[in-house]
């Protein structure tokens, strides 16, 4: 499986912070790297318990500062839109 990403435009969002590791490569534009990175990010997101439902309760109702650092990159996903 090798997805065609050259015409992909997206706006990816979660309602909770998530750390993803797309891996390393010598060529970040190569189709093999992009396919592997996409798969790794998808797997990272799939490991979040209950799709992150508990994050809001833990963040806003406990009053505990988790000391999370500011992210280096922000992603914002609004879902799928049919053309």
Low-confidence ranges of the chain (pLDDT < 50): none
| Residue 48 token pair | 């979040």
Backbone Cα Rg of the chain? 15
In 3D space, the residue among 45, 48, 42 whose CA is nearest the CA of residue 3 turns out to be: 42
**What's the pLDDT score for residue 9?**
64
pTM for the whole thing? 0.53
């Amino acid at each position: 499986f090798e997805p065609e990403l050259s015409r992909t435009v997206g706006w990816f969002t979660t309602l909770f912070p998530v750390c993803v590791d797309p891996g390393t490569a010598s060529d970040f534009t190569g189709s093999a790297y992009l396919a592997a990175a996409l798969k790794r990010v998808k797997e990272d997101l799939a490991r979040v318990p209950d799709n992150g439902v508990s994050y809001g309760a833990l963040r806003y109702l406990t009053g505990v500062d988790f000391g999370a650092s500011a992210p280096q990159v922000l992603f914002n996903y609004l879902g799928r839109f049919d053309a």
